Amino acid sequence: MPAYWISNYRAVRDDEKMAAYAALAGPALVEAGGRFLARGLPEQVYEAGLRERVVVIEFDSVDAAVAAHDAPAYQEALAALGDGAERDIRIVPGV
């Protein structure tokens, strides 16, 4: 069953750290089997929706998404990001 990694960016504090993170994270997550489905600011929000940057990545399973997060290549990307952004990351099983 597919799983979805959903990142909501509450704040970007350092554009250079974000760029360094993106340069490492994208390839690391694709290498781990991730498929980027959506990335950017919402075109429209409703109810209590926030106009925050969102990234949605599909993986073959929850285990694959967790393994991608915990892999050394992605951990290197996290180290590059450091305190450059405040985010909420969720891994959600598909239906």
54-83: average pLDDT: 98
Pull the structure tokens for residue 61: 């399973």
Q: Which residues pair with 11 in a beta bridge?
A: 86
Amino acid in the structure at residue 30: V
In tens, the pLDDT along 5-46 reads: 999 999 999 999 999 999 999 999 999 999 999 999 999 999
- 51: confidence class by pLDDT, cuts 50, 70, 90: very high
Model's pTM, two decimal places? Answer: 0.93
Mean pLDDT estimate for the chain:
97
| 6 in Cβ contact with 56 (< 8 Å) | yes
CA distance 4 to 68: 12
